[in-house]
Amino acid sequence: MNTGQPIFTQMMETIHPQQFARCVTRYGGEYKMQSFSCWDQFLCMGFGQLTYRESLRDTVDCLCARPDLLYHLGFRGAIRRSTLADANENRDWRIYATLAQQLIRRARRLYADEPLATELDATVYALDSTTIDLCLSVFPWARFRRTKAAIKLHTLLDLRGPIPTFVYISDGKLHDVNALDEVPIEPGSFYVMDRGYLDFARLYVLHQQGGFFVIRAKNSLRYNRLHSLPVNASTGVRSDQIITLTVFYSRQGYPERLRRVRFFDAETDRFFVYLTNNFALSALTIALLYKSRWQVELFFKWIKQHLRIKSFFGTSANAVKTQVWIAICVYVLVAILKKQLDLPGSLHKILQILSVNAFEKVALQELLTQTMPQFQDDDNHNQLMLF
């Protein structure tokens, strides 16, 4: 059935015009620039993400190759490389960050009933960061080392989905533990982190705000054991202890009791030690929660492989953040479509189908529901999978 609208247009109609307009108005995105709107900019950059374009020129040339479809794609201004470059340099990146947060809230409602690795009613987040290397001579504002530039994406991932609920973009020099100061804390939720975030003063702030943390302990941890809880060694749990810290500054940072769980992972033949401020869950559940943290690593690898966040179309901090946030918008839009249409395939397959059919005038649901079953037996289990 020909709907009269290209696939790309149908996908972007997931965003309500008034929702986008409020983001633009909030940050004055179209002040003294009416010929090329923020929506035109978003469509150009979103098209580049969806169809794997390599540069601004590549994106503009691809769009201008179909001038008969530009109006139907939603464009109202003339598309020029220089105009798009100026918009990326000058328009506030927070417009698209706010839009992404609104889409994230919508996606989280859709995925609220997704199962976790363990039976738990609370929300579980995984916190981690990934570094994106840049050229120092091109991005001097992102100095990382003496001869190297980089940015970091500090991401809080809701493991029901997984959906990125919080993203903080910094230069490469910012240590991971400092990102804890920016993370919003929800009382009753679990925050799973690796030992790069081990700062007892910051963890105590999280504890006082009503959150629970599960973090891997460092080998240098010094503590006093108050008492031990019974464990079932057949599950892999070797010890479950209630402890207090003994080092002066550590005890000042976290003056209350902690729980220390030692776990043997038979798959990797390694021992792991976890710290948590939750005393109600079983020790095995604590270990399984930390094991589910690997989803955030898969998320980083997925977006680096399938979205354009490793090579940037602009050189300023504003242009880089704009591109990253629009990439997140595209990721969340695809996740929303997957849930709304109840598609069985992976996000990568959906993205591939959308990318090669962006100009096709066929119903979006018809395209995805009829195409996806053809790929169900072609899974390469060595590939990274999300959802």
* CB burial of residue 65 (10 Å; 0-12, 13-18, 19+): exposed
Mean pLDDT of the chain: 89
d(CA 157, CA 82): 35
Percentage of the chain lying above the pLDDT 70 cut: 94
Residues 6+ away with beta carbon under 8 Å from 282: none
Mean pLDDT of 201-212: 96
Give the Cα separation of 323 and 329 in Å (integer).
Answer: 10
HEC-encoded secondary structure of 262-323: EEEECCCCEEEEEEECCCCCCHHHHHHHHHCCHHHHHHHHHHHHHCCCCCCCCCCHHHHHHH
Give the Cα separation of 243 and 252 in Å (integer). Answer: 15
Kindly give, in sequence order, each residue whose CB lies less than 8 Å from that of residue 330, ignoring residues fewer than 6 positions away.
46, 49, 50, 307
Mean pLDDT of the region 347-364: 90
Provide the pLDDT confidence category of residue 215 given band limits of 50, 70 and 90: very high
pLDDT digits (tens, 9 = 90+) for 163-185: 899 999 998 888 999 999 999 99
Mean local confidence (pLDDT), 125-142: 92
Q: Does the structure show a pLDDT above 90 at 31? A: no
* CA 133, chain centre distance (Å): 18
> pLDDT (tens digit, 9 = 90+) per residue, 3-15?
578 999 999 999 9
Q: What share of the chain is helix, strand, coil (3-state, %, to 5)?
A: 45, 20, 35
- CATH number given to 195-279: 2.20.25
| pLDDT beyond 50 at 249 | yes
The owner of tokens 């090669």 is: 356
Quote the tokens at residue 296.
Answer: 């955030």
- The reported pLDDT for the residue numbered 221 is 93
> Rounded distance, CA 383 to CA 326, Å?
25
State the residue for tokens 């996908």. 11
Q: Which class for 180: exposed (0-12), middle (13-18), buried (19 or more C-beta within 10 A)?
A: buried
pLDDT the model gives residue 381: 47
Amino acid identity, position 105: R
Select the more confidently predicted residue: 106 or 33: 106
CATH 2.20.25 range(s) for the chain read 195-279
Structural tokens at position 109: 């409602």
Element (H, E) at 225: strand 223-228
Return d(Cα 360, Cα 136) in angstroms, integer.
41
